[in-house]
Amino acid sequence: MYHRLDNLVTRSVLIVTITMMTLAGCHLFRDAEQELVENTHTLRPIPPSRDAIVLELIFIDRPLNDPDLGERLWNHVDQIGSRSPNLQSRLKKNDIRVGQVAATPPPILQEMLQSSSEFYDRTHASQMDSARDGIHADQTMVNDMHRASIQPLVLPAGTSTNIQTSQPYSHCTLVIRDDEDADIREYKHAQGVLRLTVERQQDGWAKLKFLPQLHHDNVSLRPSPTDDGDDWQFRHGQRIDSLYPLQFEVELNVGEMAIMSVDNRNDYSNEGSLGRHFFITSTSDEMMQRLIVVRLADMQKLKAVYAQE
């Protein structure tokens, strides 16, 4: 009888022990699963894709008053566009000439662009050879006082970049002309800049906004707006004088171009004008006039990329 009782007690203890181990095991597995879920890195949602505006920035330098940059060119250029009569008047008073060119440019401009394209191909090959030889390749072609350079740009829609238009000035005096008045401004360590902002309009169309600026004074830590314009942050840079009354814009279809240069049609002497400081440079030999061409080359979609939290 006692033997049967001992067997019964042993069986009961064994059953209770197995049951407790099973319950404990389930709890351990649940904890492990919970820890695995909590430590799993989730991926951020895919942001919407953005439009990329593909531009070609071309600088063409010729001797001042070269006929190729005069009426021979501008007679074949749309100089009105969407600019108001008041803005056109202000640009002219400040010696700035702006135009819009179709995808098939006039022959005189085709010739100058062709020289830029050939130079770009030769420069790229020269840079590859020079890189192998450990030599720095020059970015500018000089041939019979004709110079040209080309730079591709890819900008997300809604963003901006700076186009440096002039040589640096240790000191300069500018005469900024409004509808009636003339404002004389003094700058030190200055350089002319066009602040370019690109916006998508519709398929194949983009709006380009050009804001003339003077970057001047010594480089230091200064408050500046963030790229989206929603906040401020400190960056190293110069003071910036933005000339909003002279801001202009063009709407381009793929293949079309915006061109800008100094306007030499004014009868009065305007040596201190903005246009002359932006688009005329002096060399050891003579004064050079610059034509800036911005071509809308393409519009693409920027692909979204996964990123871990």
Rounded CA-CA distance 274/245 in Å is: 13
Provide the pLDDT for residue 185.
93
Could you tell me if 281 and 291 are in contact, meaning their C-beta atoms sit under 8 angstroms apart? no
pLDDT band at 213 (very low <50, low <70, confident <90, very high): very high
Residue 123 has pLDDT above 70, yes or no: no
Percent pLDDT > 70 in the chain is 67
Instruction: Please tell me which residue, 55 or 33, carries the higher pLDDT value.
Output: 55
For 153-180, the pLDDT digits (tens) are 999 999 999 999 988 999 999 999 887 7
| pTM reported for the whole predicted model | 0.71
Provide the pLDDT for residue 10.
55
Instruction: Give the chain's radius of gyration (CA, Å).
Output: 33
Residue 42 has pLDDT above 70, yes or no: no
For 242-278, the pLDDT digits (tens) are 999 999 999 999 999 999 999 988 755 577 899 999 9
Phi, psi of 165 (to 5 degrees): -100, -25
Least confident interval from 10-14, 171-175, 185-189: 10-14
DSSP 8-state assignment for residue 166 = S
Residue 57 has pLDDT above 90, yes or no: yes
CA dist 289 to 94, 175, 279, 282, Å?
A: 16, 19, 6, 9
**Domain coordinates in residue numbering, the chain:** 1-41, 51-302
